[in-house]
């Protein structure tokens, strides 16, 4: 997609009453897209992180479209991450809007501090088990606590479920659960307009991270986030769409082509990780260091999540197995790696 096509794609959405407002975040991904749907009820999709600057720009963006914050009647959350969640409670308090959230996200939204602590505890345990040194884990815990202020709790007034239809006066949006980037990723399909509001489920410029999360079903097994994400992308690929409105960056005009690229990228990365493990048994953190060097320390949780997602694929295919080395899990190959593709 050329640089000139993205504004036209947002213009097409605006002509259908769905307006992008770009809100600053403190994160490397950059600004977050929230959307104002000019219909009845007047609906805000996501709200941005909890900061004065973000709140000011959100308020100004709504005003530029001829509305005030107090006019908002409904807030809909695409998923539980803080750059989308942070201002939901404040906007609801100012406007009296109902807050609509997929069932899986309700605990995080309503019990934000407690849930974040539980997620951090699980992440720390997982990092230690997969070879990240204790001092790095403690440093990451401190960073995570510092970032928590960008999120905030909100009272959920309407619980959404996979397969629901969210009604407006002039349209109906089908609700689809698409876990992977987070356990609660939710996309909203306007089948009549062949449009999808996708949150971070599908981003044009970067592949969505599939971060480690704790189990919420009573299991003791770590959820396989990348496996879930690939299944979710397969479901989205089957949809008939002309326009995907993402949570960051420009619209996606060819969702099937982009998803096929992502499938191929994950296949290549799994093969590369398998070759590293075939050289000698390695922990997931050891794999990350071999692939990314010092980034595997400064971005230890992100790179560990990336590696574990792909070792899940390899484990499920029977290409590697887990072995215990004291308190640390390592992986070893059980089949010969595929030969490198010729350039």
Flag whether 304 is in a domain. Answer: yes
Chosen domain end from 238, 253, 268? 253
Instruction: State residue 216's pLDDT score.
Output: 81
Residue 198's nearest CA partner among 235, 157, 151 is 235
Q: Starting from the edge strand earliest in sequence, which strands make up the sheet with 243-246, in order?
A: 165-167, 172-177, 186-190, 195-199, 243-246
Instruction: State residue 340's pLDDT score.
Output: 65
* Section 7-14 average pLDDT: 87
What percent of the chain clears pLDDT 90, i.e. is strictly above it?
88
Question: Of 49 and 221, which is predicted with more confidence?
Answer: 49
Give the tokens for residue 60: 């100004």
Where does the pLDDT of residue 278 fall: very low under 50, low under 70, confident under 90, or very high at 90 and above? very high
Chosen domain end from 188, 218, 253? 253
Instruction: Indicate which CATH number applies to the domain containing 315.
Output: 1.10.10.10
Q: Is the pLDDT of residue 97 over 60?
A: yes
Flag whether 76 is in a domain. Answer: yes
66/173 same-domain check: yes
Whole-number Å distance between alpha carbons of 246 and 98: 23
Instruction: State residue 328's pLDDT score.
Output: 95
Whole-number Å distance between alpha carbons of 297 and 282: 16
Where does the pLDDT of residue 343 fall: very low under 50, low under 70, confident under 90, or very high at 90 and above? very low
167/290 same-domain check: no
Instruction: State residue 112's pLDDT score.
Output: 96
What's the residue count for the chain?
A: 343
222/281 same-domain check: no
158/299 same-domain check: no
Q: Is the pLDDT of residue 302 over 50?
A: yes
For residue 323, what are the β-bridge partners?
330
For residue 22, what are the β-bridge partners?
33
Say if residue 325 is exposed, middle or buried (CB neighbours under 10 Å; 0-12, 13-18, 19+): exposed
Chosen domain end from 222, 253, 284? 253
Handedness of CA 81, 84, 86, 90 (dihedral sign): negative
The count of domains in the chain is 2
Flag whether 258 is in a domain. Answer: no
Flag whether 145 is in a domain. Answer: no
Pairing of strands 32-37, 43-45: antiparallel
Q: DSSP letter for 258, please.
A: H
Instruction: State residue 4's pLDDT score.
Output: 39
292/202 same-domain check: no
Is residue 309 within 8 A of residue 219, CB to CB? The reply is no
* Section 240-257 average pLDDT: 97
Flag whether 266 is in a domain. Answer: no
For residue 21, what are the β-bridge partners?
34
* Section 209-214 average pLDDT: 93
236/173 same-domain check: yes
Instruction: Indicate which CATH number applies to the domain containing 202.
Output: 3.60.15.10
Output the pTM of the full model.
0.93
Where does the pLDDT of residue 1 fall: very low under 50, low under 70, confident under 90, or very high at 90 and above? very low
SS3 143: helix
For residue 320, what are the β-bridge partners?
333
Average pLDDT of the chain is: 94
Flag whether 157 is in a domain. Answer: yes
233/282 same-domain check: no
- Residues 6+ positions from 302 with CB-CB distance below 8 Å: 209, 211
Helix, strand, coil percent values for the chain (each to nearest 5): 45, 20, 40
246/293 same-domain check: no
200/309 same-domain check: no
67/200 same-domain check: yes
Flag whether 303 is in a domain. Answer: yes
74/161 same-domain check: yes
Flag whether 284 is in a domain. Answer: yes
Domain of residue 283: give its range.
Answer: 276-333
322/242 same-domain check: no
Is residue 296 within 8 A of residue 310, CB to CB? The reply is no
pLDDT tens readout for residues 135-186: 999 999 999 999 899 999 999 999 999 999 999 999 999 999 999 999 999 9
């Amino acid at each position: 997609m050329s640089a000139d096509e993205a504004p036209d794609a947002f213009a097409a959405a605006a002509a259908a009453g769905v307006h992008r407002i770009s809100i600053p975040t403190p994160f490397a991904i950059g600004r977050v897209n929230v959307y104002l749907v000019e219909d009845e009820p007047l609906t805000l999709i996501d709200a941005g992180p909890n900061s004065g600057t973000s709140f000011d720009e959100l308020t100004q963006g709504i005003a530029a479209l001829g509305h005030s914050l107090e006019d908002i009647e409904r807030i809909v959350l695409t998923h539980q991450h803080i750059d989308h969640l942070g201002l939901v409670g404040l906007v609801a308090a100012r406007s009296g809007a109902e807050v609509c959230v997929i069932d899986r996200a309700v605990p995080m939204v309503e019990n934000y501090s407690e849930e974040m602590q539980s997620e951090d505890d699980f992440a720390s345990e997982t990092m230690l088990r997969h070879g990240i040194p204790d001092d790095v884990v403690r440093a990451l815990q401190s960073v995570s606590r510092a970032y928590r202020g960008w999120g905030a709790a909100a009272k959920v007034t309407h619980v959404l479920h996979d397969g629901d239809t969210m009604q407006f006066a002039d349209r109906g949006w089908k609700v689809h659960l698409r876990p992977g980037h987070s356990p609660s990723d939710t996309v909203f399909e306007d089948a009549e307009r062949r449009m999808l509001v996708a949150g971070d489920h599908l981003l044009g410029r970067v592949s969505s991270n599939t971060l480690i999360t704790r189990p919420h079903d009573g299991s003791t097994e770590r959820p396989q986030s990348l496996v879930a994400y690939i299944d979710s992308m397969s479901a989205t690929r089957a949809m008939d769409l002309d326009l995907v409105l993402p949570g960051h960056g420009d619209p996606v005009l060819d969702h099937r082509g982009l998803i096929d690229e992502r499938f191929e990228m994950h296949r290549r990365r799994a093969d590369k990780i398998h070759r590293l493990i075939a050289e000698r048994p390695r922990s997931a953190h050891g794999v990350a260091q071999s692939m990314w060097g010092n980034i595997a320390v400064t971005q230890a949780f992100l790179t560990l999540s990336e590696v574990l997602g792909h070792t899940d694929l390899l484990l499920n295919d029977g290409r590697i197995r887990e072995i215990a080395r004291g308190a640390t899990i390592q992986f070893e190959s059980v089949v010969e790696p595929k030969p490198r593709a010729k350039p």
